[in-house]
Every structure is written in C-alpha cells, then in structure tokens.
Amino acid sequence: MYMKIYIVGSVASGKSTLARRMARATGIPCHHLDEVVYGEDPADSRGNRKRSIQERDALFFSILAREHYIMEDTGRTCFVEGMRQAEVIVHLEIPLYVCRQRILCRWIKQNLGLEKCTYKPRFIMLRRMFKWAKDYDTGVDGIKTRVALYPSKTVVLRNNKEIERYLMSLT
C-alpha cells in the first residue's frame, strides 16, 4: 500500500471526496491543501484569510514530514515538493463539462447552506472556479505539465468507474 499519496486535478474533479474515501479505506489521514493556504476567518469579508508564506510552508512541510499522508490540491507550484516526495500521484482527469456541473451544483448548495465551505460563496467565486477549471483543461495553469514530470508514479483516473476500481484496489 502507498504511504504518501498526492491527489491532483481540476477544481471540482473530486479530489477532496477521493481523499476522504481513500483515508477511510486505508486509515491514512488526508490533508486538503486549500486549508494549508487559507484559514477560516469569520471576521474577513471572504470568510477566510490567506496564511503568510511562512505559516503555509510550516504547515505543508509538517505534513510532508509524516510517515503516511494523503494530500489533495489543484497542483499549485508552492506544493510541487509534495508531488516530488509522493510515492503515488493520483491525477483526476475528469471532463470539463462534468467539473462545470459540479462547480455550479456546489455553489448552489453552499449558498443554500447545504454544503460547508471556508469562503463566502459569492458570484465572483463561481466565476473564478469556472475560469480555474478552464485554465486546467487547456493547460494554461501548467498543472498537467508538472504532473507529467512523474509518469512512473502517476495513476490517471478519468471517470467514476476508474475511481471505484482504484478504490477497490486499495483494500
């Protein structure tokens, strides 16, 4: 079984859900790197605050120092060391139209209070998520290029059937 796992993919590709499911299946703790970059702050108009680089890096490297972890992120450049140190990179290559549907559904649920989030789900955030998904899909953000540096340890999953099969292989 892999001990250090890095999950990467577009916004709304299912990274957090997969990380939680893998954590339940393996007993390995999962870490959402959005929570390393941002801390909840109800006093802030966005509902969160961006951590200082020093604070972010201290949290990130404390995760890397652990014997076992599952971490998930969109593949930010500040976390490339996570890809390098991971024993396996799970790359979720979910079609853009699926991600867009999930983004809209998530945003609606967050606005109705049915889904928790660490930011205020305003319209500008919806627009940003659509842009991030498009930037990922077209390769503008460079994430696919960063993942491509590690072909021997990358598992690409493109749909729910492949994800389910992968999860079954962990048990």
* pLDDT in the model for residue 119: 78
* pLDDT in the model for residue 118: 75
Report how far residue 66's alpha carbon sits from residue 53's, in angstroms, rounded to the nearest whole number: 20
* pLDDT in the model for residue 47: 65
Q: Which CATH number belongs to the domain containing residue 11 in this structure?
A: 3.40.50.300
Q: Does any domain span residue 135?
A: no
Q: Does any domain span residue 9?
A: yes
Q: Does any domain span residue 131?
A: no
* pLDDT in the model for residue 39: 83
CA-to-CA dists, residue 32 to 38, 45, 91, 152, angstroms:
10, 22, 15, 24
Q: Does any domain span residue 12?
A: yes
Q: Does any domain span residue 40?
A: yes
- The answer to whether 103 and 126 are in contact (CB under 8 A) is yes
Q: How many domains does the chain have?
A: 1
Of 87, 71, 60, give the one whose Cα is nearest residue 18: 71
CA-to-CA dists, residue 147 to 12, 48, 138, angstroms:
18, 28, 15
Q: Does any domain span residue 10?
A: yes
* pLDDT in the model for residue 104: 98
The label of the residue with tokens 């709304």 reads 12
Q: Does any domain span residue 77?
A: yes
Report how far residue 144's alpha carbon sits from residue 39's, in angstroms, rounded to the nearest whole number: 27
Q: Which residues pair with 48 in a beta bridge?
A: 40
At residue 39, the 3 state secondary structure works out as: strand
For 25-42, b/e burial (b = at least 16 CB within 10 A) is ebebebbbbbebbbeeee
* pLDDT in the model for residue 42: 62
Which 8-state DSSP code applies to residue 78? G
Report how far residue 71's alpha carbon sits from residue 50's, in angstroms, rounded to the nearest whole number: 19
Domain ranges, residue 153: 4-94+141-170
Report how far residue 90's alpha carbon sits from residue 146's, in angstroms, rounded to the nearest whole number: 13
Low-confidence ranges of the chain (pLDDT < 70): 1-2, 41-47
Q: Does any domain span residue 76?
A: yes
- What would the two tokens of residue 77 be? 């450049």
Chain segment 81-126, per-residue pLDDT in tens: 999 999 999 999 999 999 999 999 999 999 999 998 877 899 999 9
CB atoms within 10 A of CB 148: 10
